[in-house]
């Protein structure tokens, strides 16, 4: 029987197998941020240890940072202390750190690929569930808890049981107003928020082959929202082109040698998956969520259904009450209060290009507050150098500074209770964007439509 | 590290599916750099309104015990280990559900919090019994890998042999890994990634 891409990478990283137990898995890249690392650094220190392989460890601050006035000290005392602690911990352990304001700073999952830290065929972990993003490059990438962060720091390994595997194939061509975010929201709405729990997912087929790296990252990023351990796309020329010339990526002959190796990273034609799903690109329309988990999604021109996959009636009722919606209502035409464009899901340059193009000379709606938050300093710089910033400011928008921002509202960017926010982030859980905030997840095109009309609507085709 | 053998207690029933870690502990409480004190913040936004006054009739009201019985897909979403810390700090030693999110399961196991996975059918019957007889005592035997409840019967649950031994003897993964650093050095000598 043939092997999957996942099998091949996993097997090459097994240090040893524990009988009736997990594998000791070697980790190639450890990404670190300020929220899930301090307790790991202090536990390590208490054991008299330092980070074992600091050259494989990279850190940035993102969750606690303000998106305005980053040149000033962080006003919130606990946020400031968390960020300061990361600077101390990384310095003590000789770890590469991108502090606030540094040209390399940004959201950990935007920075990793952008800096060429994350390559192909690697094991990548971070104390953050959206680590799944890095599977877009053909990596086994998954989120871990702080105890596991400590293990990777101590020995560059983790104890992990090999997950089951699923393949999701989407063939055909996407309509012009359908973005990668719509593709993944569609898949999650079909499979449910726990549809792939215990599985690692490979995304295959024409739709993912045709996608940019930014698009593949958006898709893989949300693998966790259907319970998957991670998602992976086989690397190809699109992948290699993206990596070439990036700061920490191999260059010259070393790059060519790497590409030759990366080209072998494919699932064998006779490999067998535990689960297989197939979808048709023609069935995918622009999507929004209507409930309180990412599986509760419908096409923008659809109605709120009577039930959702993996959600009993009481839980569905609770979600409707929280959102202030009713079964059978149309999503299109609903009035919204906020729009947030950003996060590790849709905070990359391609997302701002798409948003700006969709605004297309129109003005921001007067009664909508819009937060445009670049995923990194590099994205911020490109927004300006490509003229997107000037165009959007002329249309009444404000470009903020990089960070996780309203995705999880750990900083000041909170959606007020009861208000509706169209958000390009990844989670619509109760209170995720602020106490009582009502989140409607969408892609950048739907977000642009909401930002200029103040309502949910099908994005116009440009 | 703490050990687990038999856990016997009344149960706290929270029959909601897909309880994500943002519900277990909201993000704004994750700014601290310590592991302590998260128990007070457990399910905070279900228990308190924005102004800090208690929510009447919230899902945990009036229930006591060290075993939490929840709906399907417990612990989904964010990887925050603070969720496991909060449950443990609040005195919870086992969570019973018909499925657990992968990262939460690992986090729980690394914090002496036992995830007990039963079938949907068993969970439905257990939920019904706990609703009608809230003081029912639930007994979990890690050695025998069983859960038994009067009126519901016995159910087995899975756990790998390595992890079971760790929990019963109080061993931790990091101690195992540190003791086997030679294997890791040998691996590094032959692999360049």
The CATH number linked to A21 is 3.30.499.10
Check whether B193 has a pLDDT greater than 70: no
Give the residue from B50, B71, B76, B145 with the most A CB atoms within 10 Å of its CB, the best one to mutate: B76
Check whether B192 has a pLDDT greater than 80: no
Contact B35 A143 (CB under 8 A): no
In a domain, B1, yes or no: no
CA A429/CA A437 separation, integer angstroms: 9
CA B118/CA B102 separation, integer angstroms: 15
Question: What are the tokens at B168?
Answer: 């019963």
Are residues A152 and A210 both part of a single domain? no
Check whether B152 has a pLDDT greater than 90: yes
Q: What is the pTM of this model?
A: 0.97
CA distances from B124 to A226, B97, B121 (A): 23, 10, 5
Question: Which residues of A, range 353-392, sit inside 8 Å of B by Cβ?
Answer: none
Helix (H, G, I), strand (E, B) or coil at B152: coil
Residue holding tokens 């040149």? A71
| Listed residues A160, A191, A214: the one ending a domain | A160
Contact B178 A154 (CB under 8 A): yes
Residue A159: its pLDDT value, please? 98
Give the chain B residue nearest A432 (alpha carbons): B22
Are residues A228 and A322 both part of a single domain? no
Chain A residues touching B101 at Cβ < 8 A: 194, 197, 227
Residue B56 distance to chain A (closest CA, Å): 16
Question: Which residues of B, range 65-104, sit inside 8 Å of A by Cβ?
Answer: 71-73, 76-82, 84, 99-103
Are residues A172 and A204 both part of a single domain? yes
Are residues A99 and A217 both part of a single domain? no
Q: What is the CATH number of the domain that holds B133?
A: 3.20.19.10
Are residues A16 and A126 both part of a single domain? yes
Are residues A122 and A209 both part of a single domain? no
> For A70-84, b where at least 16 C-beta lie within 10 A, e where not — what string?
beeebebebbbbbbb
User: Does the CB of A148 have a partner CB in chain B at under 8 Å?
Assistant: yes
Residue B59: its pLDDT value, please? 80
Q: What is the CATH number of the domain that holds A208?
A: 3.40.1060.10
Q: Which of B153, B146, B152, B175 is nearest to B162 (CA)?
A: B175
Are residues A156 and A168 both part of a single domain? no
Q: Where in the sequence is the domain holding A393, given as residue range(s)?
A: 287-453
Check whether B128 has a pLDDT greater than 80: yes
In a domain, B63, yes or no: yes
- Helices and strands, counts by H and E, chain A: 16, 18
CA B111/CA A68 separation, integer angstroms: 38
Are residues A438 and A291 both part of a single domain? yes
User: Does the CB of B117 have a partner CB in chain A at under 8 Å?
Assistant: no
Contact B173 A151 (CB under 8 A): yes
Residues β-bridged to residue B114: B94
Contact B76 A193 (CB under 8 A): yes
Question: Which residues of B, range 148-177, sit inside 8 Å of A by Cβ?
Answer: 160-163, 172-174, 176-177
Contact A194 B173 (CB under 8 A): no
Residue A382: its pLDDT value, please? 98
| Listed residues A133, A160, A187: the one ending a domain | A160
In a domain, B86, yes or no: yes
Helix (H, G, I), strand (E, B) or coil at A365: coil
In a domain, A239, yes or no: no
Query: With contact defined as beta carbons under 8 Å apart, do A266 and A234 qualify?
Result: yes
Check whether B140 has a pLDDT greater than 80: yes
The domain tally of chain B equals 1
Q: Which of A197, A142, A130 is nearest to A164 (CA)?
A: A197
* HSE value, Cβ hemisphere, 13 Å, CA-based, for A210: 15
- B18 → closest Cβ in A79, A151, A315: A315
- Provide CB contacts within 8 A for A283, sequence distance 6+: A186
The number of angstroms, rounded, from the C-alpha of A249 to the middle of its chain's C-alpha atoms is 21
Taken in order B123, B129, B134, B140, is the CA torsion positive or negative? Answer: negative
Chain B residues touching A65 at Cβ < 8 A: none
In a domain, B102, yes or no: yes
Q: In what side-by-side order are the strands of the sheet with A29-32? A: A96-98, A57-60, A29-32, A123-126, A140-143
Residue B170 distance to chain A (closest CA, Å): 15
Chain B residues touching A409 at Cβ < 8 A: 27-28
Contact A429 B77 (CB under 8 A): yes
Question: What are the tokens at B4?
Answer: 């687990």
Q: Which long-range contacts (CB under 8 A, 24 or more apart) does B130-137 make?
A: B130/B11, B130/B13, B130/B69, B131/B13, B131/B15, B134/B10, B134/B13, B134/B63, B135/B10, B136/B10, B136/B11, B137/B8, B137/B9, B137/B10
Higher pLDDT, A312 or B163: B163
Query: With contact defined as beta carbons under 8 Å apart, do A24 and A159 qualify?
Result: yes
Chain A residues touching B169 at Cβ < 8 A: none
Residue A82: its pLDDT value, please? 97
Q: Which of A373, A378, A385 is nearest to A411 (CA)?
A: A373
| Listed residues A109, A142, A160: the one ending a domain | A160
Q: Where in the sequence is the domain holding B164, given as residue range(s)?
A: 6-190
User: Does the CB of A419 have a partner CB in chain B at under 8 Å?
Assistant: no
CA A431/CA A121 separation, integer angstroms: 37
Contact A127 B101 (CB under 8 A): no
Residue A3 distance to chain B (closest CA, Å): 20
Are residues A420 and A318 both part of a single domain? yes
Are residues A183 and A153 both part of a single domain? no
| φ/ψ (deg, to 5) at B82 | -55, -25
CA distances from A38 to A122, A144, A148 (A): 25, 14, 13
Are residues A354 and A415 both part of a single domain? yes
Q: Which of A55, A266, A31 is nearest to A132 (CA)?
A: A31
Strands A29-32, A57-60: parallel, antiparallel or unpaired by DSSP?
parallel
Chain B residues touching A123 at Cβ < 8 A: 193
pLDDT of chain A along its 462 residues, tens only?
899 999 999 999 999 999 999 999 999 999 999 999 999 999 999 999 999 999 999 999 999 999 999 999 999 999 999 999 999 999 999 999 999 999 999 999 999 999 999 999 999 999 999 999 999 999 999 999 999 999 999 999 999 999 999 999 999 999 999 999 999 999 999 999 999 999 999 999 999 999 999 999 999 999 999 999 999 999 999 999 999 999 999 999 999 999 999 999 999 999 999 999 999 999 999 999 999 999 999 999 999 999 998 888 999 999 999 999 999 999 999 999 999 999 999 999 999 999 999 999 999 999 999 999 999 999 999 999 999 999 999 999 999 999 999 999 999 999 999 999 999 999 999 999 999 999 999 999 999 999 999 999 999 765
Tell me the per-residue pLDDT of B36-74, one tens digit each, with 9 for 90 and over: 999 999 999 999 999 999 999 888 889 999 999 999 999
Residue holding tokens 């040893």? A16
Contact A85 B106 (CB under 8 A): no
- B26 → closest Cβ in A159, A311, A431: A431
In a domain, B42, yes or no: yes
Are residues A357 and A437 both part of a single domain? yes
The domain tally of chain A equals 3
**Angle at alpha carbon of residue B165, lines to B161 and B169, rounded to 5°:** 175
| φ/ψ (deg, to 5) at A341 | -115, 120
Residue B44: its pLDDT value, please? 97
Torsion of CA A205, A210, A215, A219, to 10 degrees: 0
Does the ipTM surpass 0.90?
A: yes
């Amino acid at each position: 029987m043939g092997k999957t891409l996942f099998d091949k990478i996993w097997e090459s990283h097994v240090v040893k197998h524990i009988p009736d137990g997990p594998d000791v898995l070697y980790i190639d890249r450890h990404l670190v941020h300020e929220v899930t690392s301090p307790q790991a650094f202090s536990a390590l220190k208490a054991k008299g240890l330092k980070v074992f392989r600091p050259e494989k460890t990279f850190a940035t601050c993102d969750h606690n940072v303000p998106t305005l006035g980053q040149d000033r000290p962080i006003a919130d005392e606990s946020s400031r202390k968390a960020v300061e602690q990361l600077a101390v911990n990384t310095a003590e352990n000789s770890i590469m750190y991108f502090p606030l304001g540094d040209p390399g700073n940004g959201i950990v999952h935007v920075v990793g690929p952008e800096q060429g830290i994350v390559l192909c065929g690697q094991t990548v972990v971070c104390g953050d569930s959206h680590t799944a993003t890095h599977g877009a490059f053909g990596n086994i990438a998954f989120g871990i808890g702080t105890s596991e962060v400590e293990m990777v720091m101590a020995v560059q390994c983790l104890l992990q049981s090999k997950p089951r595997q699923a393949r999701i194939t989407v063939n055909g061509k996407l309509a012009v107003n359908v973005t990668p975010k719509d593709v993944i929201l569609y898949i999650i709405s079909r499979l449910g928020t726990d549809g792939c729990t215990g599985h690692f997912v490979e995304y295959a087929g024409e739709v993912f082959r045709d996608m940019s790296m930014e698009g593949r990252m958006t898709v893989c990023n949300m693998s966790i929202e259907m319970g998957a351990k991670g998602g992976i796309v086989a690397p190809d020329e699109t992948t290699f082109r993206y990596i070439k010339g990036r700061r920490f990526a191999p260059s010259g002959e070393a790059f060519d040698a790497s590409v030759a190796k990366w080209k072998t990273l494919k699932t064998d034609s006779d490999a067998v998956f535990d689960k297989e799903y197939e979808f048709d690109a023609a069935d995918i329309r622009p999507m929004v969520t209507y409930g309180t988990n990412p599986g509760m999604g419908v096409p923008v021109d659809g109605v709120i259904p009577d039930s959702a996959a993996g959600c009993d009636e009481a839980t569905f009722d609770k979600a409707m009450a929280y959102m202030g919606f009713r079964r059978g209502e149309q999503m299109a035409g609903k009035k919204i209060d906020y729009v947030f464009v950003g996060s590790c899901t849709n905070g990359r340059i391609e997302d701002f290009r798409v948003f700006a193009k969709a605004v297309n000379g129109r003005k921001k709606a007067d009664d909508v507050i819009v937060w445009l938050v670049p995923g990194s300093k590099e994205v911020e710089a490109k927004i300006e150098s490509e003229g997107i910033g000037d165009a959007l400011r002329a249309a009444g928008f404000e470009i903020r500074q990089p960070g996780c921002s309203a995705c999880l509202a750990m900083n000041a960017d909170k959606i007020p209770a009861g208000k509706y926010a169209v958000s390009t982030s990844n989670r619509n859980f109760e209170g995720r964007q602020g106490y009582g905030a009502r989140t409607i997840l969408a892609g950048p095109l739907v977000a642009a439509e909401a930002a200029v009309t103040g309502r949910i609507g099908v994005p116009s085709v440009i | 590290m703490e050990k687990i053998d038999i856990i016997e207690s009344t149960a706290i029933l929270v029959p909601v599916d897909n309880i994500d870690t943002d519900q277990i502990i909201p993000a704004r409480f994750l700014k601290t750099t310590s592991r302590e004190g998260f128990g007070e913040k457990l399910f905070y936004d279900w228990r308190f309104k924005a102004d800090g006054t208690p929510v009447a009739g919230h899902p945990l009201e009036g229930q006591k015990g060290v075993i939490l019985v929840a709906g399907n897909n417990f612990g989904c979403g964010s990887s925050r280990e603070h969720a496991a810390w909060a449950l443990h700090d609040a005195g919870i030693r086992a969570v019973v559900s018909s499925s657990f999110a992968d990262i939460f399961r690992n986090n729980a196991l690394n914090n002496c919090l036992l995830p007990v996975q039963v079938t949907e059918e068993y969970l439905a019957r257990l939920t019904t019994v706990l609703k009608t007889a809230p003081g029912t005592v639930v007994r979990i035997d890690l050695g025998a890998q069983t859960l038994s409840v009067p009126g519901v019967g016995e159910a087995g649950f899975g756990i790998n042999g390595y992890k079971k031994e760790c929990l019963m003897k109080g061993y931790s993964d990091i101690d195992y890994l540190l003791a086997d650093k030679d294997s890791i050095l040998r691996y590094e000598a032959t692999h360049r990634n």
